[in-house]
């Protein structure tokens, strides 16, 4: 697709600036802030891109965002701009918890290493609560932060992120010719309880998923370098956890001990472990024998349950066909047969009575696979369960932009949503020798959907569609392996919650099933871990031992109001694209027709203008230092696009709108940075590639 962000946006792609290969770039350079010292506080304005209004928080001119600061540890809030003990109204303000700025007094942004002056701040946007010294806070203008990636399993996964006291300590290690060996030595010393002076803290070995346990790692500063020809970033980060206090350093025995607990180790919570297993099955006319064999596999699985195992399993069923707008006789595109997940016997009945293959043929070989996966994503998953999706189909999916594509989503779009929902997909690809030309297309799509989180492979099992016996063996094996892994995991002797080993994987278990199970278990056990907080440190965004493995990924912190504004803007863009297609006119002419007063001086926008220059999209999106081909779209580019490329563009925007809608509806996905925050101020850590 021409106009889309890369699947793995790197920080270099966010910055969009040259000249940072050598040395360190200050935060002011990263943000593109300009100007000299702040103006007099009585004027309530500055010349470095900040406006402090008569009422409400100070505003960044370029973004329209309210200016915020992050307090350093052990800082105080004063009633007046005087560092006197009797002026303290709140001692030891929560570290790195964002505060709104209402006024800046004698602040000189040109001297970030020796900050002077005062900030008048408040925990909410309604009113200030006191003053903080400039030396006690960091200005945080861009809502950029990073999150830990899924670390993979204990053996083949990446190493935890080490957090260094200073840039020089990290630089020395990164530049060392024996970097990998010395990094391994650091991990060995930590395991032995010997904390190097250069380290302040570390990421826990167990995985802390930011969409499940919210934490903040805002970027304060950064440096770019290269390792073995690959760009890597050294980031200065502040670590914070809302509503939690206390510095989590490696000098803290309690934190140090919990940070070294194995990724699948510990018995805490295992007694409650459950499994949700949702089948997503193609029900076009070639599929009836495989539906019947899937039913038999579930029936066999159910018969093997003891009372305890039966209570732990719940099943779901989603079936899919093709676009009913093209072939109305198909009855449905996708159907969820289990609004609530059901027990095994009910699932067998549903497979017998409800999941019948249609007798109606399709126009072409591909089916609406993505619609089935999208429907299954919205299953009634249980909070305490490992979540698995078994996709069974014999054909590829219609790509976004195709006439029969209902969702407009790609495999990569759905993969991100699967990750955020902690759903792990195994694909069974039934390969009909008569449709060999479709096999590579379907394989690529299924590989993307079934990528194993934290690993390099995919959980995909191809089988000859004419070999029904082989399919029966496979589906029996998949379901029974999951049962066996659950029984063995729950039955493990817990021992020490800190040092217990991960369960052994049976020798005859399918590799794809065991890999998915391990990835899901790492997430489950990670719920017992806690991320570091109240520290400032330097870290590399890659594995120190194996730099090819990404350890940190960039996100943008958005609130509900910002997400809704972004969605409304993209809806106008889609309307403009559709009108331009219908009228065969210029894109911006069409956009002016639907946007009206929303655009900046719409009558003045002419040839060469870009979508970013219209002012249609929220200012905070335009100001973020990342590259977007959609924002660069102009009439000339639109005119040069083929009909398919225009359709691809339209559907990519529609897919993002659908993702925004899904995120907005997730009650538990939104987090309050401060107690008492209004709901519209609750935030979500949005993937950078969810932006337009």
pLDDT in tens, 667-689: 778 988 777 777 877 889 998 88
Whole-structure pTM value: 0.83
Residue 39: the pLDDT is 33
Closest CA to 498 of 205, 241, 286, 250: 205
What are the backbone dihedrals phi and psi of residue 189, each rounded to the nearest 5 degrees, phi first?
-65, -40
Residue 41: the pLDDT is 35
C-alpha 136/C-alpha 132 separation (Å) is: 7
Residue 16: the pLDDT is 30
The structural domains of the chain, ordered by start, are 34-140 (2.30.30.170), 150-261+530-550 (no CATH), 270-526 (3.40.50.410), 558-690 (no CATH)
Closest CA to 31 of 232, 220, 236, 223: 220
With a cut of 50, list the residues of the chain below it in pLDDT.
1-46, 493-502, 604-608
Residue 229: exposure state from Cβ atoms within 10 A (0-12, 13-18, ≥19): exposed
Residue 595: the pLDDT is 67
Catalogue the E-assigned strands of 59-189. 59-60, 68-71, 77-78, 88-90, 99-105, 118-122, 130-133, 137-140, 144-148, 162-164
C-alpha 264/C-alpha 260 separation (Å) is: 12
Residue 606: the pLDDT is 47
Q: Are 104 and 52 in contact (CB under 8 A)?
A: yes
Residue 380: the pLDDT is 95
Residues 6+ away with beta carbon under 8 Å from 63: 141, 619, 620, 622, 623
Residue 96: the pLDDT is 83
Residue 617: the pLDDT is 79
Residue 532: the pLDDT is 94
Q: Are 512 and 446 in contact (CB under 8 A)?
A: no
Q: At 28, list the tokens.
A: 């002011």
Work out the angle at residue 422's Cα, subtended by the Cα atoms of residues 421 and 427, and round it to the nearest 5 degrees. Answer: 105
């Amino acid at each position: 697709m021409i106009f889309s962000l890369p699947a793995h946006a790197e920080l270099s792609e966010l910055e969009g600036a040259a000249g940072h290969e050598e040395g360190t770039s200050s935060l002011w350079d990263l943000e593109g802030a300009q100007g000299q010292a702040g103006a007099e506080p009585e004027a309530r304005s500055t010349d470095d891109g900040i406006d402090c209004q008569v009422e409400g928080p100070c505003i960044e001119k370029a973004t329209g965002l309210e200016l915020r600061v992050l307090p350093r540890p052990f800082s105080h809030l004063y009633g007046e701009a005087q560092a006197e003990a009797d002026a303290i109204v709140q001692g030891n303000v929560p570290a790195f918890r964002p505060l709104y700025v209402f006024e800046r007094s004698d602040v000189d942004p040109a001297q970030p290493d020796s900050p002077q002056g005062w900030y008048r701040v408040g925990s909410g946007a309604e009113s200030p609560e006191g003053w903080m010294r400039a030396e006690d806070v960091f200005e945080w203008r861009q809502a950029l932060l990073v999150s830990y990636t899924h670390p993979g399993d204990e053996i083949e996964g990446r190493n935890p992120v080490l957090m260094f006291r200073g840039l020089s300590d990290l630089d020395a290690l990164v530049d060392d010719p024996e970097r990998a060996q010395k990094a391994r030595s650091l991990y060995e010393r930590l395991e032995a309880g010997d904390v190097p002076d250069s380290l302040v803290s570390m990421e826990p070995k167990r995985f802390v998923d930011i969409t499940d346990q919210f934490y903040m790692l805002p970027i304060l500063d950064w440096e770019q370098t290269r390792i073995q020809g690959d760009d890597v970033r050294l980031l200065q980060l502040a670590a914070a956890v809302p509503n939690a206090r206390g510095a989590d350093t490696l000098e803290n025995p309690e934190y140090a001990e919990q940070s070294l607990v194995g990724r699948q180790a510990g018995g805490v919570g295992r007694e409650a472990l459950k499994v949700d297993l949702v089948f997503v099955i193609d029900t076009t006319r070639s599929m009836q024998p495989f539906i019947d064999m899937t039913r038999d596999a579930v029936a066999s699985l159910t018969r093997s349950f003891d009372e305890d195992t039966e209570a732990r399993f719940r099943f779901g069923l989603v079936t899919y066909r093709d676009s009913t707008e093209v072939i109305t006789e198909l009855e449905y595109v996708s159907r969820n047969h289990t609004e609530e997940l059901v027990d095994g016997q009910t699932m067998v009945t549903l497979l017998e009575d409800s999941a019948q293959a249609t007798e109606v043929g399709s126009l072409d070989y591909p089916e609406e696979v993505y619609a089935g996966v999208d429907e299954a994503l919205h299953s009634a998953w249980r909070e305490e369960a490992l979540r698995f999706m078994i996709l069974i189909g014999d054909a590829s999916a219609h790509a976004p932009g195709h006439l029969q594509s209902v969702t407009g989503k790609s495999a990569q779009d759905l993969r991100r949503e699967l990750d955020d929902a902690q759903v792990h997909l195994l694909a069974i690809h039934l390969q009909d020798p008569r449709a060999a030309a479709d096999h590579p297309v379907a394989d690529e799509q299924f590989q993307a959907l079934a990528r194993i989180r934290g690993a390099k492979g995919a959980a995909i099992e191809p089988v000859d569609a004419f070999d029904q016996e082989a399919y029966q063996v496979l589906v029996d094996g998949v379901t029974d392996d999951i049962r066996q892994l659950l029984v063995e995991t729950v039955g493990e002797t817990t021992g020490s919650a800190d040092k217990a080993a991960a369960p052994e994987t049976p020798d005859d278990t399918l590799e794809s099933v065991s890999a998915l199970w391990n990835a899901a278990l790492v997430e489950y056990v990670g719920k017992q871990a806690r991320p570091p907080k109240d520290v400032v440190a330097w870290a590399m965004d890659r594995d120190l031992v194996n730099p090819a493995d990404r350890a940190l990924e960039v996100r943008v912190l958005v609130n509900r109001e910002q997400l809704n504004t972004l969605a409304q803007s993209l809806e106008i863009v889609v309307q403009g694209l559709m009108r331009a297609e219908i009228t065969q006119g210029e894109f911006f002419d069409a956009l002016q027709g639907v946007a009206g007063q929303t655009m900046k001086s719409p009558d003045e926008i002419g040839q060469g203008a870009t979508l970013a220059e219209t002012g249609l999209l929220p200012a905070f999106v335009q100001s973020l230092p990342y590259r977007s081909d959609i924002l660069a779209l102009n009439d000339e580019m639109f005119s040069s696009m083929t009909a398919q490329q225009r359709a691809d563009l339209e559907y990519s925007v529609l897919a993002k709108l659908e993702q925004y809608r899904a995120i907005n509806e997730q009650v538990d996905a939104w987090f309050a940075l401060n107690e008492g925050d209004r709901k519209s101020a609750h935030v979500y850590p949005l993937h950078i590639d969810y932006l337009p």
